């Protein structure tokens, strides 16, 4: 086995594992599969976490995970897929960041790792064992990498900032109620 074959095989395994985990998480949110709550429960949860309105936030989160994960696993439109998944995980990381790093403390270890891995795959490319390779990289052009990451970063920043404002308004409202 030559080195390029090992690298391509390694990328395939990494894409399948990362994409599979993302698909599972996204379909929990969207459809209630694998013990998830489905869209209605996810929407209520998103609302409680400050992502408002809850239903569109739940749909966007589920699509970033399930859609980005499926495309990563297939190795199709890899820059957009990895950037979408990384952006979704940036929002998830913002929820868990106050609890520190480690997952057992409620920290951002898991979403951070998924986002980092998805971004890394987007930067590396899907390798030879991918639909991007089969389609002659029509959806994996060099210019797509910075465009996908810029769009994802802007969207994640806007969503995280909007959430922070919603949570601050909730705290302010709660404080004003407790004064009476």
- Alpha-carbon distance 115 to 93, whole Å? 9
- Alpha-carbon distance 123 to 84, whole Å? 13
The pTM score is 0.93
Whole-number percent of the chain with pLDDT over 90: 93
The predicted-structure confidence for 102-135, as pLDDT tens digits, reads as follows 999 999 999 999 999 999 999 999 999 999 999 9
């Amino acid at each position: 086995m030559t080195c390029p074959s090992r690298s391509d095989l390694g990328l395939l395994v990494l894409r399948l594992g990362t994409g599979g985990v993302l698909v599972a998480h996204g379909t929990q949110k969207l459809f209630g599969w694998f013990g998830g709550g489905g869209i209605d429960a996810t929407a209520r949860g998103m609302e409680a976490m400050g992502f408002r309105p809850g239903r569109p936030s739940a749909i966007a989160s589920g699509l970033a995970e399930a859609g980005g994960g499926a495309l990563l696993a297939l190795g199709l439109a890899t820059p957009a897929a990895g950037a979408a998944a990384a952006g979704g995980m940036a929002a998830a990381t913002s929820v868990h960041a106050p609890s520190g790093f480690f997952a057992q403390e409620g920290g951002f270890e898991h979403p951070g790792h998924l986002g980092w891995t998805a971004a890394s795959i987007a930067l590396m490319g899907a390798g030879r064992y991918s639909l991007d390779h089969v389609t002659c990289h029509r959806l994996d052009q060099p210019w797509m990498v910075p465009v996908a990451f810029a769009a994802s970063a802007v969207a994640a920043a806007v969503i995280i900032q909007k959430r922070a404002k919603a949570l601050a308004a909730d705290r302010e409202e709660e404080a004003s109620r407790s004064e009476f």
